Structures are given as structure tokens and as C-alpha cells.
Amino acid sequence: MNLLFTEEQKMVQAMVRDFAEKEIAPFVPRMEDGEFPREVLKKMGELGLMGIPIPAKYKGSELDFISYIITIHEISKVSATVGVILSVHTSVGTNPILYFGTEEQKEKYIPKLATGEYIGAFCLTESSAGSDAASLKTRAVKSGNQYILNGSKIFITNGGEADVYIVFASTNPELGKNGITAFIVEKDTPGFIIGKNEKKMGLHGSKTIEIILENVVLSEDARLGQEGEGYKIAMANLEAGRIGIAAQALGISEGAFSLAAKYAQERHQFGKPIIKNQGISFKLADMATNIEAAKLLTYRAASMKSEGKPCGKESSFAKLFSSRTAVEVTNEALQIFGGYGYTKEYPIERYFRDAKITEIYEGTSEIQKLVISKHL
Amino acid sequence: MKFTLSEEHEMIRKMVRDFAKNEVEPTAAIRDEEERFDREIFNKMAELGLTGIPWPEEYGGIGSDYLAYAIAVEELSRVCASTGVTLSAHTSLACWPIFKFGTEEQKQKYLRPMAEGKKIGAYGLTEPGSGSDAGGMKTTAKDMGDHYVLNGSKIFITNGGVADIYVVFALTDPESKHKGTTAFIIESDYEGFSVGKKEKKLGIRSSPTTEIIFQDCRVPKENVLGNVGEGFKIAMMTLDGGRNGIAAQAVGIAQGALDHAVEYAKNRVQFGKPIIANQGISFKLADMATSVEAARLLTYQAAWLESAGLPYGKASAMAKLFAGDTAMKVTTEAVQVFGGYGYTKEYPVERFMRDAKITQIYEGTQEIQRLVISRML
């Protein structure tokens, strides 16, 4: 056991922290107004942050998984929106091509994704296939050496902004999840229609889009992996995705906590800073303790992932605990700000709104409990 | 960064787990019922080297570290929290301050036989009027030239009556309170030292908790631990490490209760299926397992920091706070999973629930932990 970051990991942390404060924080108001942070992502691409765990031969930064988690964590302290854009882009937008793509597919897409020239997205969820992903209805019918895709997807993060989409469709509905196949679809493919952008409680500036597939014709070259391998591909990166969201939730918690701790020291009532009341200071102590636990669970899962060990249970522990902590901590942080916390004058209500999604996406908390209970 | 335990740590875990299962668990319920401390168990721990895990071999220890010690307390507490606290008080509260502040002579004379398990250690700080407010103590130590004379009494002393060596705190300068406190090493056969009433308790009943009394107790000068006036600092620093031990005890209690609850939920059939097939039960168990894992990581972090020579005060307060609350919550839920049976002495979970409560109180109450943490924010 050695719980200290390596020198390289510390450098990544310092670099990302600095970038988040200087480049992301000023952009937050524009994201709150709904603007996608394309300018920020471009700069992140220049710094190598859009392809952290990707091998250098595909123009990635070739850093370890822990460095990737550090990046999501640090960015989400400032902006959960940029945190999730990066997480989706890397974990489920790029990695499936890296793990399951042909050499041709890798060379075609990964260097552009890893440098931020392209943004990636992942299209699995449908209106009636959420936690029960295997029940998806989008069809891919083989016709000669082509596939014709029809159906619709919802809640697609980075939708409309992304250039490359990993799309899941059934090539053989009778086989259930074993009939699902993955495809790489480029944005400008005819019949690939960008639908409505969801209005959301939080994560403003990130796009959550409906995608409609209307007779989308793809060549066999666009198929990712083999026919029927789609469900495996969708689930393969589940652990990384969950650890990523655990890190996002951790960043949200820490961001809200430091604002609340600072406010509690500065805000005077009854002639003293409010932190002098145990009603406030003990609340902060509990928040800090839960954040520490969330951090350990997240980095423990990340370190196992980094070592290539199975970490299904551990990533669910991290996701479940860290997201719950984010919701609790942001709620308590807002409480410390009192009436001011409820206004847009302070950023705390944004953290509060952003936190909630972490209990829902990449497997709801209930799904995490299902996973954990199967390991008992 | 690497969370994986070393082979040495895994070996110690396995050894303690086997020992706990074979030598401690079989009598845990009856010792609880009879409020009986079993010196034989302590002696067997000594044979395995468990009584001196973090100390160098030159002081009778096995030269391992605080993480290995935490793992040992956890594994013992998984079957018997009383045995866990016996080792924790012995190691963290009696051996530690002597290792840290003792002279070479004191280490050879007191730490060595304790580490070897020939003697049992205890710690005397709390008084009737001085609990969380340790600075409010009344026990005095009067300087008589070549010796001190102690008068007063201490309460809630873990290992009281069975210990041979006590690290106690008394006022050498009653005027200056904190700065007038001095630590002493007391042998149980000193004249004027006696063991008072033994508490009847809710839990950890096979760990004796007694009053100790000083009535013109003559203590040689060479038994001053650290410097005169340094006692309060020694007492507080000792508790920082003690918190790691209690956090480990709490993790063990929680894990033990969780194990029993999972096994029961898989075997107990109602409405034609095991009760774990209901999400009302399985999700409860998933939440319990998540909390236990978080508590364990906080505990190992604090122990690892101490082993690595890094600051661990905040980490150990967080570990103790979180693990103590987890133990209470998880044991209560474990009793719930067992239903009516859980409320009876036929199953061990009610003992775990009773034992869990003390982890929220001793070595600094949860409220004191929050105070410690909030001061470091």
C-alpha cells in the first residue's frame, strides 16, 4: 500500500487544477447560459487532456488510468459539465474503438479523438431501455455488405456536438442482448438526425440529445467488433465509466465543500463567524469525512483498474457512495449559505443541481446496489 | 498510488483470522454473558506475536507496522470486539506512549514485556469529572524529591484490574492545568495503587472496565514518562493513534455483523424464497457493505499514514468517526435482517450491536472527533 500520488500524477493534478481555474472557471457563466464549451475543449486537446489514457501512437498522452481520474476530479471541482463531457468522450466515446476497433478504425478515429479535433459520444439508452439496456429496439438490418439502421436514442451526452458516435442496435432481436451490435457513426451520415436537446436541472452547457436514425446506411467497415458483440462492448467499459462518474461526483462535493467552508469562516452572525457554532462546524466535519471516504473508494477502484484487476464491485462502491455524498454535501453546503445559497449570486446552487445526475447516469444507485448485492 | 496490501499484511490477516476463528470466536458469547476476561487468549496472542506488532524486535515486538496492527484488531473484532479492544488499549494506549516518549531503560523494562505479551498494559486518563475535557483532571502527583506521591482516582479504565502496567496522568502543577500534567508509568503492585469497582456494561463485556485508585501511591522518579508537564501532550497524541485502533475495532464489528447478516439472508426462506432475493434486503446489505468498505479504507489510510511517518491526526479522527457510526448503523441493520431471532442471544448479532455502541464513545466521542476535524478544516 502506498497512498501517495506518483510525481507524474502530481504533475497532472497541478496542471489540470491550474487549467480549470484559469480556463474553465471564466467560461462557467456561458455554459450556464447553455453554451457548449467548444473553446475550452480545444484548449484541453492542446494540453493532451482529451486523450489521457490513449497510447502515444494514436496521439494520446499515454498516462495511467489514475491520471485520467485525477483530471475528471479536478475539472469537476470547477465544472461538472466539462467533467462529464470529458468522461463521456474518453470512457465511452474513444475507449470502445481502442479496445474493439480494427487497426483501420483506430487510425481513422482515435488520433482525432485523442487530440480533441473530434468529440466522441455513446448511444445506448432508448426511451424504454434505460437500466435494462438489453431491451433496446433500434434495429440494424443487413443488406448485402451494408447495414441499415432505424430507431431512436435518448439522453445522448455530447449529442449534436460530437463528431463520432458509438451506436448500439440489434442485428438479431430474437437473441436479445446477444443480438446487439455496435457501430461507429459519423455525425454527417445521411439519416442520422439530431433531435431535441433536453432542458435539464443541471449540467448546463453539456448537451443531452435525442438521436433519430432514419434509414442510416453504414458499410461493414463501420461495425465495431463482431455482430452480437455489442452488449459486451457496451458493458466492457462500465467500470471505467463508473469510476469516472465517481470522480466527477467527488469533484462536485469538494468544490461545494470548499465554498461552504470559506463562507462559514467569513459570514458573521450574532457577532462571530458562523463556523464558531457547532451546528455548522460539525456539519462541515461530517461533510469532510464523507468526502474523504468517497475519495478513497474512488481512487481505490481507479488504482485497481490501473493495475488491470477486475473491479466491478469496487467501482460500484465508489459510484454509489461518491454520488450519494455529492447530493448530501451540496445540499448541506447550500444550507450553510442560507438564503444566499438559493440565489444565482453564488455558485452553490449550481453544484446542488449538478450533483443529482451522478446518482442516475452510468447506472443508477439502484443498479449499483444490484451489482454489489450480487457480489455478497 | 497503490491500495493493494503487501503479502506481509495479507499473511498477518490470515494468521489473525484463523486464530480468531479457532481460539476467540468459540467462547465469545459465553465470555460476554459471564463478563469474563480470559488471560489465556491474551497469552496465545502473545505466542503469535500479536501483542507487539508495530514495535521493533529489540523491544520485543515483531517489527511490523501500524497497518498490520489495525488489521489484527479488525480481524479479532470481527468475532469478538472485547478481544479487539484488549489488544487496542494494550498496544495503542500503553505501549505506544512508552515507545514514543520512554527512555531506553523504560522501553526495556516496560515496553519489552508488554510487547512480548508477558504483561498487559492499560491507560488512565479519564476521571469522574473529566471525560472529554481531559484538562479538568483532579489526580495529583506531589514531588517528594526522589519520588512522587499520587492521589486521586481514574475511571473507565480498559484492561483495568488485569493489566500489570498503567500509563496514567496526574497534575504535578495543579495551577497550570494542561501544562501541569505529567505522565507516569505505574506498576500494578505499587503500594497505594488499587483497583476499584468494575463497571457493568452494555457491551464489550469480556473486556474489564474498572476504576483505579491512588492513595498515597509512591512512584519512583524514573517512572515519569516524557518530561514533567508534558503529560497533556502525551495523552492527546496517544489518543490520535488510539483512534486508529478503535476505528479498526469498529470496522471489524461492522464486517462481522455484515457477514452474519449476508449468510442469514441467503439461508432464511420466507414466501418461498431466500429473503436476500428481496431488494428490501439485498439493497440494505449493499449499503452496509459499501459503508464498511469506506470505513475500512479510512482506517487503513490513517494507519498507513502513521506507518509512513506522515501526519495522521485528521485522518484518524475521520476514520474513528466514520467507522464508529458505520458499526452502529450496520449492526442495527444486521439485527433487523435477522428479525426476531436477531434480538435473541441465539445469534451473535445482538452482541455486535451492543458492542458497536462503545465505538461512538471512547477514545474521544464522535462529537470530539467532529471538533478535532473541524479545527483542521
Residues 6+ apart with CB under 8 A from A203: A80, A81, A84, A354, A357
Torsion over CA: B83, B89, B94, B97 (sign): positive
Q: Does B15 touch chain A (CB under 8 A)?
A: no
Distance in angstroms (rounded) separating the CA atoms of residues A253 and A77 = 7
**What is the predicted pLDDT for the residue at A131?**
84
Measure the N-to-C terminal CA separation of chain B; round to a whole number of Å: 24
Q: Do B1 and A288 touch (CB under 8 A)?
A: no
Q: Do B297 and A300 touch (CB under 8 A)?
A: yes
**What is the predicted pLDDT for the residue at B136?**
87
C-alpha cell at B108: 526495556
In terms of Cβ atoms closer than 10 Å to its own Cβ (0-12, 13-18, 19+), residue B77 is buried
Q: How many CB pairs below 8 A link A and B?
A: 126
Of B279, B293, B377, the CB nearest to A288: B377
Residues 6+ apart with CB under 8 A from A79: A20, A24, A25, A27, A28, A31, A37, A205
Q: Do B4 and A307 touch (CB under 8 A)?
A: yes
Q: Do B67 and A3 touch (CB under 8 A)?
A: no
pLDDT 10s per residue in chain A (376 long)?
999 999 999 999 999 999 999 999 999 999 999 999 999 999 999 999 999 999 999 999 999 999 999 999 999 999 999 999 999 999 999 999 999 999 999 999 999 999 999 999 999 999 999 888 889 999 999 999 999 999 999 999 999 999 999 999 999 999 999 999 999 999 999 999 999 999 999 999 999 999 999 999 999 999 999 999 999 999 988 899 999 999 999 999 999 999 999 999 999 999 999 999 999 999 999 999 999 999 999 999 999 999 999 999 999 999 999 999 999 999 999 999 999 999 999 999 999 999 999 999 999 999 999 999 999 9
**What is the predicted pLDDT for the residue at B135?**
81
pLDDT 10s per residue in chain B (377 long)?
999 999 999 999 999 999 999 999 999 999 999 999 999 999 999 999 999 999 999 999 999 999 999 999 999 999 999 999 999 999 999 999 999 999 999 999 999 999 999 999 999 999 999 988 888 899 999 999 999 999 999 999 999 999 999 999 999 998 887 899 999 999 999 999 999 999 999 999 999 999 999 999 999 999 999 999 999 999 999 999 999 999 999 999 999 999 999 999 999 999 999 999 999 999 999 999 999 999 999 999 999 999 999 999 999 999 999 999 999 999 999 999 999 999 999 999 999 999 999 999 999 999 999 999 999 99
- Per the CB < 8 A criterion, the answer to whether A360 and A198 are in contact is no
In terms of Cβ atoms closer than 10 Å to its own Cβ (0-12, 13-18, 19+), residue B200 is exposed
Q: DSSP 3-state assignment of B125?
A: coil
- Per the CB < 8 A criterion, the answer to whether B242 and B363 are in contact is yes
* Phi and psi torsions of B181, nearest 5°: -95, 140
State ipTM: 0.93
**Short-list A341, A359, A360, CA closest to A351:** A341
Active site residues of A: 362
Active-site position among B116, B306, B363, B367: B363
Chain A CB contacts of B262 under 8 Å are 376
Q: DSSP 3-state assignment of A240?
A: helix
Q: Does B373 touch chain A (CB under 8 A)?
A: yes
Chain A CB contacts of B6 under 8 Å are 1
Closest residue in A to B261 (Cα) is A376
Q: Do A321 and B294 touch (CB under 8 A)?
A: yes
Rg (CA), chain A: 21
Q: Do A278 and B370 touch (CB under 8 A)?
A: yes
C-alpha cell at A313: 464491485
Closest residue in A to B301 (Cα) is A3
Q: Does B195 touch chain A (CB under 8 A)?
A: no
- Per the CB < 8 A criterion, the answer to whether B290 and A317 are in contact is yes
**What is the predicted pLDDT for the residue at B309?**
97
C-alpha cell at A331: 445540499
**What is the predicted pLDDT for the residue at A238?**
86
- Which of A369, A371, A374 would you mutate first to test chain B, the one with the most B CBs within 10 A? A369
At A344, the amino acid letter reads K
Q: What is the DSSP letter of B95?
A: I
Q: Do B298 and A293 touch (CB under 8 A)?
A: yes
C-alpha cell at B6: 503487501
Distance in angstroms (rounded) separating the CA atoms of residues B353 and B338 = 12
C-alpha cell at B367: 462529537
Element (H, E) at B157: strand B147-158
- Chain CA centroid to CA A262, Å: 28
Chain B CB contacts of A297 under 8 Å are 290, 293-294, 297
Q: Do A303 and B6 touch (CB under 8 A)?
A: no
Chain A CB contacts of B322 under 8 Å are 289-290, 293
Residues 6+ apart with CB under 8 A from A212: A152, A193, A195
Q: Do B283 and A366 touch (CB under 8 A)?
A: yes
Torsion over CA: B190, B193, B197, B203 (sign): negative
Distance in angstroms (rounded) separating the CA atoms of residues B298 and A294 = 10
**What is the predicted pLDDT for the residue at A237?**
82
Chain B CB contacts of A1 under 8 Å are 2-6, 9, 67, 300, 304
In the block, which residue shows the cell 458573521? A268
**Each residue's pLDDT tens digit, A340-363:** 999 999 999 999 999 999 999 999
Residues 6+ apart with CB under 8 A from A27: A37, A39, A40, A79
- Buried/exposed A118-151: b ≥16 CB within 10 Å, e otherwise: bbbbbbbbbeebbeebbebebbbeeeeeebbbbb
Q: Does A115 touch chain B (CB under 8 A)?
A: no
| Cα of B262 to nearest chain A Cα, Å | 7
Helices B66-77 + B81-88 axis angle, to 10? 150
Q: Does A3 touch chain B (CB under 8 A)?
A: yes
**Each residue's pLDDT tens digit, B67-91:** 999 999 999 999 999 999 999 999 9
Q: Do A317 and B2 touch (CB under 8 A)?
A: no
- Chain CA centroid to CA B316, Å: 13
Q: Does A288 touch chain B (CB under 8 A)?
A: yes
Q: Does B30 touch chain A (CB under 8 A)?
A: no
Closest residue in A to B10 (Cα) is A1
Closest residue in A to B368 (Cα) is A282
DSSP labels, A114-146: HTTSS-EEEE--BTTBSS-GGG---EEEEETTE
Torsion over CA: B255, A244, A310, A135 (sign): positive
